[in-house]
Amino acid sequence: MSRRLLAVALVLALSGAVACAAGDSSKAGDGVGHAALTIYHSDNDALFSGDAQGALDAGRAVVHEQRGIDVQAGRHMLRIGGLPASVEPEAVMVNFGTGVDVLGRRIVLARGSADSALAGHVGERVSVAGSNGQTLAEGELLAADSNGLTVRNVNGNVIVVHDYATVSLPPNAVGGGGSVLLDVDAKSSGTREAKLTYSTAGIGWRAAYDVVLANGSACRMHFDPQASIANRSGRDYDAATIKLVAGQPNFSGQPPRMYMAKAVAAEAAPPMPQQRTLGDYRSFTLPGAVDLPDGTVTLTPLYAASDLSCTRQYLLEAGNAWQPPKPILDTNYNDDSYQDRAIASMLLFAAPAALPAGTLRTTTLDQDGASELLGQGDIPDTPKGQQATVTLGESFDLRASRERTAFSVDKSSRTMDEAFRITLTNGGDTARTVTVREHPSRWRVWKLVSSSVKPDKQSPDTLEFSLEVPANGKTTLDYRVQYAWAPKDE
């Protein structure tokens, strides 16, 4: 049996099984009411990239919808469509309240990315037209996948359409890639309000911070925090209430428990998102209703913009904070010599509020008045008042050279000495202060024997110096450390 015929056979078998269930098969009238989304933080770049196409298995959101559903008295089958293509099947719940009992449910997943949106309308009456406007098929949609569209017309004939231009859907239809089949028992017929709750991938958010640095010698910046919300779920959400959760919950491949996301009560819209504590995390409830069309990234204010003090830092770092299990006597170890190395350009500031993880983009005004990009970098979750540090790039004018000037080992006294020279050059017209961070790591016991510049900081694994580099000039740092160890350490 060919793939096409097999697909049609499976559709006919499924529709026959539904019709033979207790009661009559019925398509619910998917009248969508209010939707509330709790969206979790995501670091997945594909969600926010224009290169990504279709629904993505990244990000996480819990969705609460109200649907007006037509039910019949007695036991029968209902189909509710409009589920996103990336829905978590085990996290779909439907509650009608009193008068309608849900005896069983089956989740029909999207089949085929090209027609995943149409797959959510299986069971509805559709009209399929070609490029010339001629009607190719009209009737109940049985399948929408990579094999095309399968439609059963009013005469009961099954038609498979491969090449089509448009598909007309019922009024108030909800687009989506999947649906839920419900075995229900209703006390009476009529339209009932159903509460539909599910978890889905394809939706996520992260912070987007816009910073404009003021010109002048003092570091001042205009700080504009935004929330960037991506929807790649395969489903539109119109006029939704949005709650953003900041933090890193451990989902472990499973959907979040439903008690983590509660429906948002209607209230007067504040000018800015309302921030609250949610367990170990932070939540931001956006004011007013927000549209989240599929395949879009929506930006909305996270905090009011403000002007802040900041610090520009130029950092040169060698090695890392590592301590070996025994003294390292190898001459070639840690000989990190280099010439003409670029120096990192950093931006530091105190977080004016709890800052969720995201991307910070820094610009400044050029002499012609144009806003030009200085660089951008990631910022982690940062509590209020703590220092945020972002690497913007590498300074064009600052360069560094490093050479080891001495090394000796005295095994009898169990000591060794090591010395370095670091030369900084500045080709710009403005003097710069460069932070030089070194990590003595041959052994955990050491002392600074001498240095041409007094260190600002000294810890068991770090030496840090601040060096003033004049405009169009250079500065040199020489320092020596001595390691010592005991016989038991060898």
Range of the domain at 419: 313-347+387-489
Of 337, 334, 330, 340, whose CA–CA distance to 320 is shortest?
334
Q: How far apart are CA 5 and CA 381, in angstroms?
A: 53
Q: How far apart are CA 369 and CA 361, in angstroms?
A: 18
Of 104, 39, 87, 64, whose CA–CA distance to 298 is shortest?
39
Residue 421 lies inside a defined structural domain of this protein: yes
Of 93, 113, 49, 36, whose CA–CA distance to 255 is shortest?
93
CB neighbour list of residue 394: distance below 8 Å, 6 or more residues apart: 342, 343, 344, 345
**Residue 377: HSE in the Cβ half-sphere, 13 Å Cα cutoff:** 16
Return the amino acid letter for 302.
L
Residue 262 lies inside a defined structural domain of this protein: no
Residue 463 lies inside a defined structural domain of this protein: yes
CATH of the domain at 401: 2.60.40
Q: How far apart are CA 145 and CA 162, in angstroms?
A: 10
Report pLDDT for 38: 94
| Alpha-helical regions (H) of 92-176 | none
Are the C-beta atoms of residues 200 and 50 closer than 8 Å to each other?
no
Residue 449 lies inside a defined structural domain of this protein: yes
Report pLDDT for 257: 37
317 and 183, same structural domain?
no
Report pLDDT for 120: 60
Are the C-beta atoms of residues 346 and 315 closer than 8 Å to each other?
yes
Of 172, 210, 163, 261, whose CA–CA distance to 390 is shortest?
210
Residue 438 lies inside a defined structural domain of this protein: yes
Residue 329 lies inside a defined structural domain of this protein: yes
How many CB atoms lie under 10 A from the CB of residue 259? 7
Structural domain tally of the chain? Answer: 2
Are the C-beta atoms of residues 65 and 92 closer than 8 Å to each other?
no
Distance of CA 107 to the CA centre of its chain: 27
Domain boundary among 131, 165, 187: 187
Q: Radius of gyration of the chain from Cα atoms?
A: 32
340 and 484, same structural domain?
yes
10 Å CB burial of residue 125 (0-12, 13-18, 19+) is: middle
Residue 47 lies inside a defined structural domain of this protein: no
3-state secondary structure of 301: strand
Residue 13 lies inside a defined structural domain of this protein: yes
Total number of residues shown for the chain: 490
Are the C-beta atoms of residues 52 and 86 closer than 8 Å to each other?
no
Tokens of 24: 């009559």
Q: Cα dihedral angle (61, 66, 71, 74), rounded to 10 degrees?
A: 70
Q: How far apart are CA 268 and CA 411, in angstroms?
A: 76
Residues of the chain with pLDDT under 50: 1-29, 112-114, 253-270
E strands present in 146-269 = 148-152, 158-161, 166-168, 178-186, 190-200, 203-213, 220-231, 237-246
Domain boundary among 187, 218, 236: 187
Domain boundary among 117, 152, 187: 187
How many CB atoms lie under 10 A from the CB of residue 400? 23
